Structure 1
Amino acid sequence: MNSARLFSVLPIDLAFAALWWVLLWFSRRRDNRRLRNGLLFLLLINSITGALIYLTSLIPGSTFIPGLARPETLLGSILFPTMAFMPFLLMFNGVVLIRREGRRLSNLLCLAAGLGLIITPITAIFLVATLNVWAMLLAMLMFCACCYLGTFLLIFLAQTMVQRIWGGRRAVPHPDVIVVHGAGLINGEVGPLLGSRIKGAIDAWHDEEALRPGVPLLVMSGGQGPDEPVSEARAMADYAIARGVPSERILLEDRSTTTRTNIAYTRDLLAEIGMVNPQVLLVTSSFHAVRTAILASDMGVPWAVAPARTAWFYIVNAWLREYIAVLTYRRKLALICAIIAGLLSMMYALVIISSGELGGAG
């Protein structure tokens, strides 16, 4: 690739990078919890990386592959090797999780996802190889579904990065209220996962207490399950009191059973005690933080979410569950994509029928 062409396309990458940055800045200022931020972040990273690739190819003696100096090949050059190893990494993580946490249905997600990434392309290749028009139509529908799920996954991952960079305590540096989301009790006691959430909240509470004594409240949010002797909120409060938090600085929200009701009932509780538009920081596990932030945004609650540490072997499987949950929050988008895929499939079928190939299809 000659230098003239390099310099003719480099400003385009830089211009697009500036455009995505401006749009991302405005979008974050409006609400940094929306999924659109993840899409804009992906576009920004793509443009910046494309510009860096062009600049790298100018280095004398560079062994850079010219074909990679094209933005449209960037995602392929990064994603294809990643996708090749991803099924095996997912299955490995699934096996580790099952060995450590047991063979519960929820722990099989990583293993199933890894197997799915292997079986799906093999099935699609087999369908295309049959040269049967209806089998090829099914392969096309599978391709459309994978494109939608894969794109949504990338946006969700990018939004996770956006929240790590600009969300959490950066968004609400001085909270008036710190809320801990429940995670279920183990034999009536706080387990490691829930304990990590409470410890993260206590750390944030101590930081703010040192700056504004008597201001921050700690809200424990979680109802009582059918197999739990006390509510999660009560057990969480006892856990925090044992670690030095005064009981009068703790509020209990002991009715909620889901993330949505965690937020809704806590909002009602704060309104009942006269707290109008407080600065609220939600604390939950790292894998749960992005979904909680998206849900809070959907509910019109201007609260930030801070992630608590989670065991490495647990994160991927739990993060995939969160991804699936957010997919259900965007049913309209899924329906629109399904309609588009259906229309394309109908056009394909009509073309095949009108061309007379249907009768010869095996």
Structure 2
Amino acid sequence: MLRNGVLLVAGVLLTVFGLVDLAWLALSEVPRTEGGLGYTTPLALTLLGLFVLLPVGYLVLVLFLLTNGLTMLRRESRSLRNLLSLIAGLGLLAAPIACVWLLISGSAAGVALAVLIFFLTGYLSACFLVVLVYAWVYGRSTAKVVPQAVVILGAQVINGWVPPLLRARLDRAIGVYRDTLAAGHPAPLMIPSGGQGSDESRPEGQVMAEYLLQRGIPGEQILVEDRATTTEENLRFSAQIQNDAARPGPAVAVTNNYHALRAALLARRLKLDIEAVGAKTAFYYVPSAFLREFAAVMLGHRVLHAVLFAPFLLLVAAIFGMWLILDG
């Protein structure tokens, strides 16, 4: 549930405020009185620190995204999905420049648009922070159930074989399988899930099944799903295969760590008894991949975000109207 991410980030920020307050009380000789210096200074110091750190953090983020985008250009294909970190870095670099230019223009439309860009950038940044923190935590969690099935979510196969990204998912799934056996539980079904894309010579599910066989997973424990083209289809079709095999009970979906949260959100929306766990991913690949996940999560909750952002739009409209009146 995304609200858990909101609560997590809020808890971290409140903890920071609390620690600053305690540190101030421990180091300061000023008595603490309500409304006095001892009460307001910790908050003021924290806000001052944020005021100084936010622009620095913003610049560091822009440089990181631009550098990562160039790395993706060197190591991966030049597809749109691999250019997302570069595009995001350029967008963040252009946003404050556009705001200053629009404010200097002095027109009502320019000022309103600058305020809109400011609010939109701030809102998306806050949402990004929530999803980033929650995805980081969730992607490193372990399954809390005894799985009756392990679903391996597919990814692109290259030249008919598994690339490192997909291999990480398969190895994590094999680890879950072996851990279940070591704990004395029945062997779970292994369901490699993925259809054949237009740029693939074979269905992903079949290629993954061969990898599992080569790593010692018994063939009778492997049930291939080879029709899915999206994460939602991976989950739905695999759940149907598990039901057809008469193995009711919880399942574990294995994917990469940046993708685990969205897989869990989809499983919850589909009312499937599935937990998601993440496998390690090459660091340079994560930013662009996570930006895709963030966009998918935002689109999946677009009505909610439209409602939450509506007050900002009303404020922009009010500023536009007031500017026209004052300018007139």
TM-score (norm 1): 0.82
Partner of 1:43: 10
Partner of 1:30: none
1:98 corresponds to which letter in structure 2?
Answer: L
> Which of these residues, 256, 269, 286, is aligned with residue 315 of structure 1?
286
1:283 aligns with 2:254: yes
Q: How far did residue 291 of structure 1 move?
A: 1.3
Runs of 4+ in 1 over 6 A off after TM superposition: none
Q: How far did residue 350 of structure 1 move?
A: 2.7
Contact 1:187–1:228 (8 Å) recurs in 2: yes
> Which of these residues, 179, 193, 203, is aligned with residue 221 of structure 1?
193
Instruction: Give RMSD over aligned pairs.
Output: 2.1
Residue aligned with 2:247, SS = coil
Cα 1:155–1:182 change in 2 (3 A) is same
Cα 1:146–1:304 change in 2 (3 A) is same
Partner of 2:69: 94
Q: How far did residue 168 of structure 1 move?
A: 3.4
Q: Distance in 2 between matches of 1:279 and 1:119?
A: 47
Cα 1:297–1:71 change in 2 (3 A) is farther
Partner of 2:312: 341
Q: How far did residue 322 of structure 1 move?
A: 0.7
Summarize deviations over 1:15-54 as a string: whole Å, max 9, x none.
xxxxxxxxxxxxxxxxxxx110010011111111111112
Partner of 1:248: 220
Runs of 5+ consecutive residues of structure 1 not aligned to the other structure: 1-33
1:294 aligns with 2:261: no
Cα 1:354–1:213 change in 2 (3 A) is closer
Runs of 5+ consecutive residues of structure 2 not aligned to the other structure: 30-40
Q: Distance in 1 between matches of 2:105 and 2:200?
A: 55
> Which of these residues, 136, 154, 177, is aligned with residue 182 of structure 1?
154
Summarize deviations over 1:289-328 as a string: whole Å, max 9, x none.
1111112122222321111011111011111111111111
Contact 1:168–1:281 (8 Å) recurs in 2: no
Q: How far did residue 141 of structure 1 move?
A: 1.3
1:120-135 to 2 correspondence within 5 Å? 120-135=95-110
Cα 1:332–1:239 change in 2 (3 A) is same
Q: Distance in 2 between matches of 1:75 and 1:162?
A: 23
2:296 corresponds to which letter in structure 1?
Answer: A
Q: How far did residue 273 of structure 1 move?
A: 1.9
1:324 aligns with 2:291: no
Q: Distance in 2 between matches of 1:341 and 1:55?
A: 35
1:84 corresponds to which letter in structure 2?
Answer: L
Q: How far did residue 59 of structure 1 move?
A: 4.3
1:143 aligns with 2:114: no
Q: How far did residue 67 of structure 1 move?
A: 6.2
1:235 aligns with 2:211: no
Q: How far did residue 347 of structure 1 move?
A: 2.0
TM-score (norm 2): 0.90
Cα 1:270–1:74 change in 2 (3 A) is farther
Residue aligned with 1:283, SS = strand
> Which of these residues, 118, 121, 138, is aligned with residue 93 of structure 2?
118
Q: Distance in 1 between matches of 2:290 and 2:222?
A: 29
1:327 corresponds to which letter in structure 2?
Answer: M
Identical counterparts, % of pairs: 33
2:257 corresponds to which letter in structure 1?
Answer: S
Contact 1:54–1:69 (8 Å) recurs in 2: no
> Which of these residues, 149, 158, 174, is aligned with residue 133 of structure 2?
158
Residue aligned with 1:190, SS = coil
Residue aligned with 2:217, SS = coil
Q: How far did residue 156 of structure 1 move?
A: 0.4
Q: Distance in 2 between matches of 1:303 and 1:341?
A: 37
Count of aligned pairs between the two proteins: 317
